[in-house]
Amino acid sequence: MINKLNDKIKKTNAPIVVGLDPMLNYLPKHLLDAGIKKHGESLEAVSDAIFEYNKAIVDATYDLIPAVKPQVAMYEQFGLPGLEAYKKTIDYCHEKDLVVIGDVKRGDIGSTSAAYATAHVGKVTVGGKTFRPFDEDFATVNPYLGSDGINPFVDVCKEEKRGLFILVKTSNPSSGEFQDKLIETEDGKKIPLYEYVGAMVDKWGADCMGDEFSYIGAVVGATYPEMGKVLRNIMPKSYILVPGYGAQGGKGVDLVNFFNKDGLGAIVNSSRGIIAAYTKDQYKDKGITEQNFADASRLAVIDMVEDISSALKNR
């Protein structure tokens, strides 16, 4: 699956991923009204509206992008109907041949981690039949519980040729509270915890190589470009999934450190900046309304790719 992701990035020339994170206040009113007309004021109404919203954005952008990253929390907050929209969105993105990164940030130990791996990148057998519960191509994973938590995910990924992005340095302002703390390594060196986790990602990934890259990648926030530079060197074979572009403050020029010399090895996420582009003044001048919201998403994808491409050219 890492080969597919890498190939699609080369073909589209777009090292970006569209974050399908539907907040209630982004949903165009006509979609929510249609849901309520069908199901009444209910979670099912929101679920329908979310799927229609995602579908329109995917239809408007799928030829330009390699991948999408639905954030499961944004679906989970609407209970079972919300998660039904999550699953329908994943299935629809597969139909469009997009790589699907499930931003689930799961993490537990032993058989529990194995169960999460089954849920998101694995399969389960009942009697003579096999099912893929959520069927993402990649899942994001939290490393706080150590190797016991990661290994069951890695085992499933090896079998299924799917992949992980492990949280190393997150994009939020307080990510340093624990992640930046200086620790002593086994050989007496003092390094920040995120570097140590990065070295573990490199180790976990060494045994999971695709053609050019490992299918065990890392999450490093766009908001920390200097740390990105260091981590790029620590994990040369890992794709870096970079959140924090746009709304969280990351800019194209901040991103060059996350890429290898050949412009590969990183994939930058934007959620709000693309899916809620129709609310921005810059697109209102171009004939965008709430009705044709998805056209704004297409314009925002083109602008984002241009921003990153020119930063990579000028580095």
Q: How far, in Å, CA of 273 to CA of 2, rounded? A: 25
The interface mask with a copy of itself, positions 93-122, x = CB under 8 A, is ------------xxxxxxxxx-xx-xx---
The interface mask with a copy of itself, positions 195-214, x = CB under 8 A, is -xx--x--------------
5 binds a copy of itself (CB under 8 A): no
Q: Which of 172, 289, 291, 310 binds a copy of itself (CB under 8 A)?
A: 172
Q: How far, in Å, CA of 156 to CA of 50, rounded? A: 30
71 binds a copy of itself (CB under 8 A): yes
Q: How far, in Å, CA of 145 to CA of 221, rounded? A: 21
34 binds a copy of itself (CB under 8 A): no
21 binds a copy of itself (CB under 8 A): yes
Q: Which of 51, 92, 134, 259 binds a copy of itself (CB under 8 A)?
A: 134
| Single-letter code of the amino acid located at 313 | K
Hey, what are 27's tokens? 């949903």
Other beta carbons less than 10 A from residue 93's beta carbon? 24
Other beta carbons less than 10 A from residue 191's beta carbon? 15
Q: Which of 37, 124, 189, 282 binds a copy of itself (CB under 8 A)?
A: 124
User: Which of positions 148-167 make contact with a copy of itself (CB under 8 A)?
Assistant: 148-149, 167
Q: How far, in Å, CA of 260 to CA of 17, rounded? A: 18
193 binds a copy of itself (CB under 8 A): yes
Question: Residue 3 or 79: which CB sits closer to a copy of itself?
Answer: 79
State which H helix or E strand residue 217 sits in.
strand 214-220
The DSSP annotation for 102-163 comes to: EEEEE---HHHHHHHHHHHH--EEETTEEE-SS--SEEEE--TT-HHHHHHHHHHHHHHT-E
264 binds a copy of itself (CB under 8 A): no
Q: Which residues are catalytic?
A: 105
242 binds a copy of itself (CB under 8 A): no
Q: How far, in Å, CA of 186 to CA of 200, rounded? A: 13
Question: Residue 14 or 268: which CB sits closer to a copy of itself?
Answer: 268
CB of 76 to a copy of itself, least distance (A): 4
Q: Which of 46, 65, 242, 255 binds a copy of itself (CB under 8 A)?
A: 46
CA distances (Å), origin 288, targets 25, 27, 151, 296, 303 = 18, 15, 47, 6, 15
Contact footprint for a copy of itself (CB under 8 A):
21, 23-24, 36, 41-43, 45-46, 71, 73-74, 76-80, 82-84, 87, 105-113, 115-116, 118-119, 124, 126-129, 131, 133-134, 142-149, 167, 170-179, 181-184, 193, 196-197, 200
